[in-house]
Amino acid sequence: MRPEAGLFVRARHTLPGGAFTLDVEVDAPRGVTILFGPSGSGKSTLLSVIAGLVTPREGEVRLGNETWLDTKNDVAWPPEHRRVAYVFQSLALFPHMTGLANVAFGIDQSLSKPERERRARDSLSRFRAGHLADRRPKTYSGGEAQRVALARAFAMSPRVVLLDEPFSALDADLRYEFVADVRTASRDLGVPVLHVTHDRAEARVLGDHVIRLDAGKVVASGSPDFALGKQSGPRTSAREELSYDPTEA
């Protein structure tokens, strides 16, 4: 797959009732861009605009030279034409399908079934989930379900990957494994990956670029040190940083 160009998003959108307005302009290059901020800051709404699930009152979404959304010129590609992989907090696995069928479902249906299954198995293996291929989601632990959801997202040859707090319920050791796997998959795929979190350690360890949101606006954008502030004290390993509990300090 050829590397994708960067993603540009400009959006102004007021939620029903007028309680919240998203008003942002962001650039997400190839690699992992963290959308960081407290709950209610607009992170998930921004992902929905990119995916085509929400059309803002004003805005643009462009991937390289392709315009997916331009409200001034009545351009609005439907979600299925954008080829965006979206991992929701709920994961949204199909309960009646095996792990293999869940992952193969998003792969280009013009390919033969054996080829789709081969690609699905490769993606499951990448996320250490090969043993889950023949089991259904009701038999999975939380971490196992996360692995299959990530395998499905990256298997579909997406042009953009959106991850909405997929690691929030995992312990530090599992989060470390997932962070390492997502970084490797992102590098190999060569597309923009936008990862939502309100966890500062996760943002530092995973992100190439951080966009900090608050109350629907971008308040900082740049390297993790620039957007989050330089880390105080000695540098720690990624595993140690993800294990740190500020309440015990």
Q: pTM for the complete prediction?
A: 0.86
Strands 31-36 and 58-63: unpaired
The per-residue b/e assignment along 89-122, b for 16 or more CB within 10 angstroms, e otherwise, is: eebebeeeebbbbbbbbbbeeeeeeeebbebbbe
Which helix H or strand E contains 7, and what residues bound it?
strand 7-14
Give the Cβ contact number of residue 232 at 10 Å.
Answer: 5
Specify whether the backbone of 128 is left (phi greater than 0), alpha (psi in -120 to 50) or beta.
Answer: left
pLDDT tens per residue, range 158-186? 999 999 988 876 777 778 888 888 888 88
Residues 64 and 182 in one domain: yes
Residues 75 and 108 in one domain: no
pLDDT tens per residue, range 201-210? 889 989 999 9
Instruction: Look at the chain and report how many structural domains it folds into.
Output: 2
Picking from 109, 133, 157, the residue at the C-terminal end of a domain is 157
Question: Which residue segment(s) compose the domain that 223 sits in?
Answer: 1-83+159-249
pLDDT tens per residue, range 219-243? 999 999 999 987 655 544 444 454 4
Residues 246 and 202 in one domain: yes
Angle between helical axes of 113-126 and 172-189 (0-180°, round to 10): 130
The DSSP-derived string for 24-67 is EEEEE-SEEEEEE--TTSSHHHHHHHHHTSS--SEEEEEETTEE
When pLDDT is averaged across residues 66-74 and rounded to a whole number, the result is: 97
At 136, the pLDDT band (50, 70, 90 cuts) reads very high
Please report the beta strands in 111-208, taking only residues with DSSP state E, as ranges in sequence order. Answer: 160-164, 192-197
Residues 248 and 150 in one domain: no
Residues 172 and 109 in one domain: no
- Residues shown for the chain: 249
Picking from 98, 122, 157, the residue at the C-terminal end of a domain is 157
Burial of 49 (C-beta count, 10 Å sphere; 0-12/13-18/19+) = buried
CATH of the domain at 29: 3.40.50.300
Residues 137 and 176 in one domain: no
Least Cα distance to 182 among 201, 164, 163 occurs for 163
Residues 120 and 49 in one domain: no
